[in-house]
Structure formats: structure tokens, C-alpha cells
């Protein structure tokens, strides 16, 4: 269900386009009775990780401190360094000026657990086995980034917001300390905990993983920050946008107008600004301790958030469109090596762990499916063609996977049609039976509004071939079932992941 603003209300789009589609149904059926046809483009297999991405020598100055930061639910396009026109991220933007910015980073899932598990294991979700909807943890034997660093003499610690990153789900593997805050503190508390740990531990070499839900719904910004982005709002939504309110909006039980939508987005942006201020304090704390220059600092997210681009407001996990999959990835290497660069090629969350190990001069485990991104910075990766697969977290075993490549992006039509927020009619049902995938040209149509599947058969076959290469590369694994601790259940309830 796509939304638009009509007469001051945000409403589903059942437009003349939909009516024209229904009128054209007999013609469409005739085309499929005659045959599928072809767009004339030869289909050649493309490797999802080309051989030109060879591992090179490490960076000039090896870091003795690596910090991986994941701001849960942070859209790339809501940061100034990615072109946003609001001042949500002055500290991150300043940081990005001396760092490498990857402008097309794709998450491997639109939800927290499988995406972070992919980030920390360099595996696609079906190969690490951690799915929240199935209540399964990381599969036994899966090697994590923290495992490798611990084996190489690094002291390791994680400070997370709990919930889907609670210890039950297996991401503690390789960490000397794994702190999951059941109350989910703001990022400033996470930063303070990390700095205190550095002071108390004083490790010679350390890896820190920092995670926060501060930008995740419910949005509860301070009045001061909210007023910076929504000073003239006169509606009745209030300063705090609860998950219950968002759920009622998305189910059509509560109507909102354009001003309400803008206010919800403002609350989200205010939360980002709060995170940004905490990020600034982290850099300042590292500098005061004489650690910043020799630190490799990686800033990213696990997924984004939808704000009516395809029907839902303030929600994620339900589709595989880019507003949920394009995440920031900004890396600062020691002494500013590689700083001031933008990398326009598509990369993936599974590439973060190999890049960190490569920068440290460490061997990358053979189990990792990602590749080091250092060749992109050295100019030694010729014609990069990294395909990105992103999988939805679902209770059933059926795979719903989007494949994104420079030649296009396919999304399972059934996933979109079965979304709890979907508004589909006769044409959608017919399309589902005739064409199981939607196809988008993400360069010409970044909003993914124009489905090309009816005339680009060759592109769909090419992208499905990429999926098959990854699928056939190793067996699907099933993670062990977990029982939620009461603290974890309470945190998940507060985040809107489980019902009361």
C-alpha cells in the first residue's frame, strides 16, 4: 500500500494507475498464454564476490582499538553526509569528512537480529541461523568477528540495548564482556559505559561493539530536540510517538494528515540528533585518552525505517524496499588514512568484518561470505560487482529474499502482497501468480515505484542467478531454539516486537 497526502490526509493510493492495470488484465493474460517473451538482453552469470577483490596488505598504520557502532534503525538518507537537508547529524557529518563514506551500503535483513548476526559473522541470514521470528539463535560453530579478534590477542567487549541482541540469541560469542541493557539506555549511557570500560581495563588491543535503540520506535525525544524539527505542530499526536500509536496508524485505525506524518518524522530525526551528540562525546572521550588517532571507527546501522514510501509509517521488517535496507557505512582509519573519500559502489553489511580484519593484517576466515573493501580504497578493485542479498525474518521457513545489483533489484511479490499493511487488488493477485518477482531500476527509480517485471525478463533471470549462486554455496543452517528471559521479553515488548 503506497500512501499519498490528499486533502490533508495520508491515504492509500488506489489510483487511476491501478484501475488502468485492472483494465489491462485480459491483455496481460493473453501475453502469458502466448509465452513469456524476452527483453533481448543476454543472460550471463555474475559472481556476487568477484575475484578482483583480492586481499591486499593492511593499511599503513595498524589500529590497536577497533570500535564498531550500530545505530539501530538509522536510515542513511537522514544524515547530512548522505544528503539530508536537516541538521540531524553535525558530529557524524564532521567525522565523515575525515573518513571514507560508502554511499550504497545494503543490510542483509530489514530487522535487528538477523542483520546484526550477518554483520558480525559475515554470513547471509540463512547461513548463520539467527532469526527472531523463529526464536532461533546463532547456529553452533559459526565464527564471529569477535571470535577471530579474541584469538588474535584483542580484548573484546559489547555494550548493547538488549532486546533482539540479548545473550539468548548467541551474539555473545567471542566477547569477554557482553553487556545487554534491559532498560535500553540512550546512546550517551552506552558511550559512558564503553569509556569507563576502557579506563578500567586499559587493554593493549581492544575491540568494542556499541549498539543503541535510541532511533528505534517508540520515538521519545526530549522536547528541546523535538522543537528543533517540529516547532509549529498543532496536532494531537503528542511529543512521544508510541508503538501502539504507530500500529494503529498502519492498520488504518487512526488517520493522520501530512502535518502528523511530518511530526512523526521530526521525532525520529530528533532521536538521531541525540545519538549524534553522544557520538561527539565518544570521539571527545577517545581524544582525551589519546586513543582517537590510532582507532579504527566504523559507524553503521542494521536497517532503516519506512515513512509512507510504501504504505507504513515508522515501521520496519515488513518489506525489502531500500528505505529499510540502505544503511550508513562510514569508516575512519587510523591517522585519517583514506579520509575524505566517497565510495559509490554497492557494498554490504557482510563486508564489514572482512574489512576490519584486513585492516588489521589478520587472515579472513574461509567461512566469511563478505569481502574486504580495502581494494576499493586502494583503487585495485576493478569493475566491482558486489550483489547484495537481503532476507526477511519470517516464522515460516520459506525464503523471501531481495537481490540488489547495479543491473536492478528484485523483490518477491508475495512478500509485498502478504505484508500486514498491504492494500492489493485484482491486479496484484494476478501479478503474483504470473510474475513472482517485482523488478526495479534502483538508479533511475530510487523510490522503487515503477515495477519493470512485465518487460525485463532477462534482468530477473540474471538476478535470480545471483541468488542461486549464493544459495548453492553452502547449506542452510538452523539455529537452536531459545526461550526468552523475562527481562528480554519486557524489552522486546517496549520496542513493539511482541504484544502485551
Instruction: Look up the CATH number of the domain holding residue 115.
Output: 3.40.720.10
What whole-number distance in Å separates Cα of residue 78 and Cα of residue 89? 8
Do 210 and 170 share a structural domain? Answer: yes
Query: 437-440 and 408-412: which strand pairing?
Result: antiparallel
Q: What is the predicted pLDDT for the residue at 351? A: 97
Cα atoms in the 13 Å half-sphere on the side-chain side of 76: 22
* Mean pLDDT score, 127-142: 91
How many other CB atoms are there within 10 angstroms of residue 486's CB atom?
8
Cα atoms in the 13 Å half-sphere on the side-chain side of 32: 14
Res. 277 pLDDT band, cuts 50 70 90 = very high
The answer to whether residue 149 scores a pLDDT higher than 60 is yes
Is 57 domain-assigned? no
Specify the range with the lowest mean pLDDT, choosing from 23-32, 165-174, 234-243, 275-284: 23-32
At how many degrees (to 10) do helices 426-434 and 16-23 cross?
60
* Mean pLDDT score, 289-298: 96
* Mean pLDDT score, 468-484: 83
Do 100 and 9 share a structural domain? Answer: no
Of 442, 473, 472, which Cα lies nearest the Cα of 325?
A: 442
How many other CB atoms are there within 10 angstroms of residue 435's CB atom?
18
The answer to whether residue 428 scores a pLDDT higher than 70 is no
> Which grid cell sits at 302?
542494521
Do 373 and 282 share a structural domain? Answer: yes
**Long-range contacts, stretch 254-260, CB < 8 angstroms, 24+ apart:** 255/9, 255/10, 255/11, 256/9, 256/10, 256/313, 257/5, 257/8, 257/9, 257/10, 258/5, 258/8, 258/9, 258/10, 259/8, 259/233, 259/234, 259/235, 260/10, 260/235
Do 268 and 176 share a structural domain? Answer: yes
438, 451 Cβ separation under 8 angstroms: yes
How many other CB atoms are there within 10 angstroms of residue 444's CB atom?
9
Residues contacting residue 385 through CB under 8 Å, at least 6 positions apart: 46, 47, 48, 50, 405, 406
Is 470 domain-assigned? no
Do 134 and 278 share a structural domain? Answer: yes
Do 432 and 327 share a structural domain? Answer: no
Q: What is the predicted pLDDT for the residue at 32? A: 33
Do 382 and 395 share a structural domain? Answer: no
Specify the range with the lowest mean pLDDT, choosing from 78-92, 218-232, 474-488: 474-488
Of 486, 448, 459, 429, which Cα lies nearest the Cα of 28?
A: 429
* Mean pLDDT score, 277-282: 98
Do 182 and 80 share a structural domain? Answer: yes
Highest mean pLDDT of the ranges 163-172, 248-257, 294-303: 294-303
Is 50 domain-assigned? no
Is 400 domain-assigned? yes
Is 213 domain-assigned? yes
Is 408 domain-assigned? yes
Residues contacting residue 59 through CB under 8 Å, at least 6 positions apart: 333, 334, 337, 338, 359, 374
For the chain, give the mean pLDDT.
84
What whole-number distance in Å separates Cα of residue 141 and Cα of residue 349? 21
Is 54 domain-assigned? no
346, 386 Cβ separation under 8 angstroms: yes
Do 398 and 370 share a structural domain? Answer: no
327, 105 Cβ separation under 8 angstroms: yes
* Mean pLDDT score, 330-348: 92
> Which grid cell sits at 476?
542452510
Q: What is the predicted pLDDT for the residue at 462? A: 86
Do 27 and 121 share a structural domain? Answer: no
Q: The domain containing residue 305 runs over which residues?
A: 65-386+476-494
Number of domains present in the structure of the chain: 2
pLDDT digits (tens, 9 = 90+) for 345-404: 999 999 999 999 999 999 999 999 999 999 888 766 665 778 999 998 887 667 899 999
Res. 472 pLDDT band, cuts 50 70 90 = confident
Is 499 domain-assigned? no
Cα atoms in the 13 Å half-sphere on the side-chain side of 480: 11
Do 339 and 294 share a structural domain? Answer: yes
What whole-number distance in Å separates Cα of residue 372 and Cα of residue 474? 20
Do 412 and 374 share a structural domain? Answer: no
What whole-number distance in Å separates Cα of residue 138 and Cα of residue 367? 14
What whole-number distance in Å separates Cα of residue 62 and Cα of residue 335? 10
Amino acid at each position: 500500500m503506497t500512501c499519498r497526502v490528499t486533502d490533508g490526509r495520508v491515504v492509500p493510493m488506489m489510483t487511476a494507475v491501478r484501475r488502468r492495470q485492472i483494465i489491462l488484465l485480459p491483455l496481460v493474460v493473453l501475453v502469458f498464454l502466448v509465452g513469456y517473451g524476452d527483453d533481448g538482453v543476454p543472460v550471463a552469470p555474475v559472481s556476487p564476490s568477484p575475484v578482483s577483490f583480492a586481499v591486499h596488505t593492511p593499511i599503513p598504520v595498524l589500529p590497536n582499538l577497533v570500535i564498531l557502532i550500530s545505530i539501530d534503525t538509522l536510515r542513511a538518507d537522514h544524515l547530512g553526509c548522505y544528503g539530508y537537508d536537516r541538521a540531524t547529524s553535525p558530529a557524524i557529518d564532521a567525522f565523515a569528512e575525515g573518513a571514507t563514506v560508502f554511499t550504497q551500503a545494503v543490510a542483509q535483513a530489514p530487522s535487528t537480529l538477523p542483520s546484526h548476526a550477518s554483520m558480525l559473522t559475515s554470513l547471509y541470514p540463512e547461513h548463520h541461523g539467527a532469526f527472531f521470528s523463529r526464536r532461533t539463535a546463532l547456529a553452533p560453530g559459526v565464527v564471529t568477528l569477535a571470535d577471530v579478534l579474541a584469538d588474535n590477542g584483542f580484548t573484546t567487549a559489547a555494550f548493547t540495548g538488549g532486546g533482539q541482541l540479548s545473550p539468548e540469541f548467541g551474539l555473545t560469542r567471542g566477547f569477554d564482556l557482553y553487556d545487554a541493557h534491559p532498560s535500553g539506555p540512550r546512546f550517551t549511557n552506552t558511550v559512558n559505559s564503553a569509556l569507563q570500560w576502557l579506563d578500567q581495563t586499559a587493554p593493549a588491543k581492544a575491540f568494542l561493539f556499541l549498539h543503541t535503540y535510541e532511533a528505534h520506535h517508540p520515538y521519545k525525544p526530549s522536547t528541546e530536540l523535538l522543537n528543533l524539527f517540529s516547532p509549529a505542530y498543532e496536532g494531537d499526536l503528542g511529543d512521544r510517538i508510541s508503538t501502539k500509536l504507530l500500529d494503529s496508524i498502519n492498520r488504518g485505525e487512526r488517520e493522520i494528515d501530512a502535518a502528523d506524518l511530518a511530526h512523526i518524522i521530526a521525532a525520529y530525526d530528533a532521536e538521531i540528533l541525540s545519538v549524534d551528540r553522544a557520538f561527539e562525546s565518544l570521539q571527545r572521550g577517545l581524544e582525551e585518552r589519546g586513543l582517537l588517532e590510532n582507532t579504527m571507527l566504523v559507524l553503521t546501522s542494521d536497517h532503516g525505517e519506512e515513512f509512507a514510501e510504501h504504505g507504513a509509517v515508522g515501521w520496519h521488517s515488513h518489506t525489502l524496499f531500500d528505505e529499510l535496507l540502505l544503511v550508513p557505512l562510514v569508516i575512519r582509519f587510523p591517522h585519517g588514512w583514506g579520509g575524505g573519500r566517497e565510495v559509490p559502489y554497492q557494498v554490504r553489511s557482510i563486508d564489514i568484518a572482512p574489512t576490519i580484519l584486513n585492516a588489521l593484517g589478520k587472515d579472513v576466515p574461509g567461512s566469511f561470505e563478505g569481502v574486504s573493501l580495502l581494494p576499493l580504497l586502494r583503487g585495485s578493485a576493478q569493475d566491482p560487482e558486489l550483489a547484495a542479498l537481503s532476507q526477511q525474518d519470517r516464522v515460516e521457513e520459506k525464503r523471501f529474499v531481495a537481490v540488489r545489483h547495479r543491473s536492478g533489484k528484485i523483490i518477491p511479490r508475495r512478500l509485498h502482497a502478504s505484508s500486514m499493511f498491504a492494500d492489493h487488488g485484482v491486479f496484484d493477485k494476478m501479478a503474483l501468480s504470473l510474475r513472482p518477482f517485482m523488478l526495479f531500476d534502483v538508479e533511475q527509480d530510487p523510490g522503487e515505484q515503477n515495477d519493470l517485471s512485465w518487460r525485463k525478463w532477462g534482468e530477473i533471470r540474471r538476478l535470480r542467478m545471483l541468488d542461486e549462486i549464493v544459495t548453492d554455496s553452502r547449506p542452510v543452517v538452523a539455529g537452536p531454539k531459545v526461550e526468552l528471559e523475562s527481562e528480554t521479553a519486557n524489552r522486546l515488548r517496549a520496542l513493539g516486537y511482541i504484544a502485551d
